[in-house]
Amino acid sequence: MDDMTLLDIAFGLAERAGAKILEVRARGFDVNRKSDASPVTEADHAAEAVIVSGLRAATPDIPVVAEEEIAGGHVPDHAEAFWLVDPLDGTREFSAGRDEFAVCIGLVRNGRAVMGVVGAPAQGELFGGIVGVGAWKRSAAGQVAISTREIPAEGMAVVASRHDADDPRLAPYLEGRKIASLLNIGSALKFCRVAEGIADLYPRFGRTMEWDTAAAQAVVEAAGGAVLVANTGVPFTYGKPGWENPGFICWGRLPPAQG
């Protein structure tokens, strides 16, 4: 099965999972807490069931690493290729009634995110990309190719985490850079704004997990951007112990001698 076929499968599953999330939101839901105190809802589980069952039916040879299954103790054996699934990225935003939540389905090969789909159900958008091939956005208007942009003369548009807005590492990192705007929003949508050329930079120093970033990194890099480890500037990789990420910098276009 080629990567374009896999991308179409991921697009379809992300759309179905997004519809399930909106269905749960419309009728109301309770918010529970996992062992790490992070929130989880019926929508997280319902969306994950749609995605995981769909991936396993379509690609039985590719293991699925899914956030809620991992939380429940289901850890697949190591493999060179595997799916990384966050069925509802931005559960805090979803629970608070905001629209900044996403569905993330990423494919990893040999430690690198190579393909991904990020759905924004509340906004009617789907973003997908295959690294080295291209990136696209789907909406009610149809499908269009997207790409990152050159940094404008007036300065960079920066997106940052809503929940890490007070991170003391952010201001020193941005100091000395020409910044036109700074917007704090939730979920993997920050990556998507970089990928479609609305934002230029997304620095993240707080804790994230691999399922939070794999799909969105693939979209950004397919659109011409880069996601690098914050302290070293080396490429961001997957399959790490505990699935935990270091801090990272997501660039639309790398400026000279920076990153």
Look at residue 257 in the predicted model and tell me its pLDDT.
Answer: 57
Cβ atoms within 10 Å, residue 144:
10
Beta strands in 146-225 (DSSP E): 156-161, 179-185, 201-204
pLDDT of residue 148: 98
Instruction: Mark the ranges of the chain whose per-residue pLDDT is less than 70.
Output: 37, 165, 256-259
pLDDT at 29: 83
Length of the chain: 259
Give residue 145's identity as a one-letter amino acid code: A
Hey, what are 29's tokens? 């839901």
Could you give the CA distance from residue 37 to residue 223 in angstroms, rounded to a whole number? 35
Sheet of strand 134-139, all strands in order from the earlier edge strand to the far edge: 64-66, 81-89, 102-109, 112-120, 125-130, 134-139, 142-145
The residue to which tokens 């099965």 are assigned: 1
Token digits of residue 137: 């956005």
Domains along the sequence of the chain with CATH: 3-145 (3.30.540.10), 156-251 (3.40.190.80)
Q: Over the stretch 39-64, which tens digit does the pLDDT of each residue have?
A: 888 999 999 999 999 999 999 999 99
Cα 188 from Cα 182, distance rounded (Å)? 16
pTM of the complete model: 0.94
Cα separation, 226 vs 240, in Å, equals 19
What is the pLDDT at residue 147?
98
How confident is the model over 25-40, as pLDDT tens digits?
998 888 888 777 678 8
* pLDDT computed for residue 259 by the predictor: 44
Q: What integer pLDDT is reported at residue 167 of this predicted model?
A: 86
Cα distance between residue 241 and residue 218, in whole Å: 21
- Token pair recorded at residue 69: 């299954």
Q: Shortest CA distance to 122 belongs to which of 8, 21, 16? A: 21
Q: Degrees (nearest 5) of the Cα angle 23, 49, 47?
A: 35
Instruction: Calculate the alpha carbon distances from 129 to 104, 216, 237, 246 in Å.
Output: 12, 9, 17, 23
- What is the C-alpha separation between 114 and 159, in angstroms, rounded? 23
